[in-house]
Amino acid sequence: MDERQSGVGAADIWCASWWRCMLLAVRKVYLIGIGAGNPEHLTVQAVNALNEVDVFFVLDKGSETEELVRLRREILERYVPDRPYRVVQVNDPRRDRTAKDYVAAVEDWRQRRVELYEQLIRDELTDGSRGAVLVWGDPALYDSTVSLFQALRERAKVEFAYEVIPGVSSLSALVAGHRTTFNQIGRPVLITTGRQLARGLPADVDDVLVMLDAHCTFHRFVDEDLEIFWGAYVGTPDEILISGRLRDVAEEIQHVRSRARQEKGWIMDSYLLRRLTPAAPVPQEHIAR
């Protein structure tokens, strides 16, 4: 079969080769989910991606979270034993937590992080090289990294590609630690924040997973018929798990949480609130058979 019969000519082959070379020449950044604290949470896909990286970007939040930086370095030592790489560690911009305008403060903080990543890509990656950000948990769940890189692409001041590698979320590790599930059979589940939970429990949802709650908002609902599954530092050697009727364990959780935060200088926790009496009957057509 000649080129005319196959429909593939020298020009087509040249174009394909040219595009392949162009793709290889573009700087690329992996956003790699590394799980909730256990190095064994890393997926095979994540390990494979680690071994393609030339430069790892680490944002340092200071002495309070140096343990999180150390864990990232341990992951690299464990899973990237034979490939040369660099670790570029820079100070993470601080968010103004005293600002009256919360939305404006968060947007200012996000913008400074976008500019920082832009500088790192421009200064630390050469054409064709690979960078990576090791993201705690799963990059898709209550983490700003993916949206920051989307904003970077929209700015179009530096040319690069990026790929998201999913990870085990802290919520997955939480319910696994408690040997339960996100939701009950045929029932919806809500994932939200402490700030949103303060507005009230939704009437039509029996299971509510809560993250980013610095104020133990669950205390507002101790008079309701709820069960709580709480965890801190899940997946790490310092993991703490407490569960039971909310009214019975709310004070214990708050005390343990406060003490743990004081001892370590930081805390990362989440919890599941579950109605003991379903909000409404489960429609039979929604039950998996």
The answer to whether 161 and 181 have CB atoms below 8 angstroms apart is no
CB atoms within 10 A of CB 199: 9
- Domain holding 228: CATH number? 3.30.950.10
Residue that is last in its domain, among 151, 168, 185: 168
Residues 164, 177, single domain; the answer is no
Residues 116, 178, single domain; the answer is no
| pLDDT of 172 | 97
Tokens of 116: 């920082």
Residues 49, 91, single domain; the answer is yes
| pLDDT of 94 | 85
Indicate the DSSP class of residue 132: E
Q: Which helix (H) or strand (E) holds 102?
A: helix 102-124
The answer to whether 228 and 244 have CB atoms below 8 angstroms apart is yes
Residues 135, 192, single domain; the answer is no
| pLDDT of 146 | 96
Query: Residue 98 carries which side chain, given as an amino acid letter?
Result: T
Tokens of 119: 């500088």
Tokens of 259: 């003490």
SS3 for 242? Answer: strand
Residues 164, 197, single domain; the answer is no
- Domain holding 81: CATH number? 3.40.1010.10
Residue that is last in its domain, among 168, 192, 215: 168
The answer to whether 86 and 54 have CB atoms below 8 angstroms apart is yes
Residues 110, 212, single domain; the answer is no
Residues 157, 14, single domain; the answer is yes
CA distance 211 to 46: 24
Tens-level pLDDT at each residue, the chain (289 residues): 554 555 555 555 444 444 444 445 699 999 999 999 899 999 999 999 999 999 999 988 776 667 888 899 999 999 999 999 999 999 988 887 778 888 888 899 999 999 999 999 999 999 999 999 999 999 999 999 999 999 999 988 899 999 999 999 999 999 999 999 999 888 899 999 999 999 999 989 999 999 999 999 999 999 999 999 999 999 999 999 999 999 999 999 999 999 999 999 889 999 999 999 887 655 555 555 5
Residues 142, 181, single domain; the answer is no
Residue that is last in its domain, among 117, 146, 168: 168
> How many domains does the chain fold into?
2
Residues 197, 175, single domain; the answer is yes
Residues 118, 216, single domain; the answer is no
Residues 198, 129, single domain; the answer is no
Range of the domain at 61: 3-168
Residues 69, 188, single domain; the answer is no
* pTM (predicted TM-score): 0.84
Q: Which helix (H) or strand (E) holds 249?
A: helix 246-264
Q: Which helix (H) or strand (E) holds 210?
A: strand 207-211
Residues near 12 by beta carbon (within 8 Å), at least 6 away in sequence: none
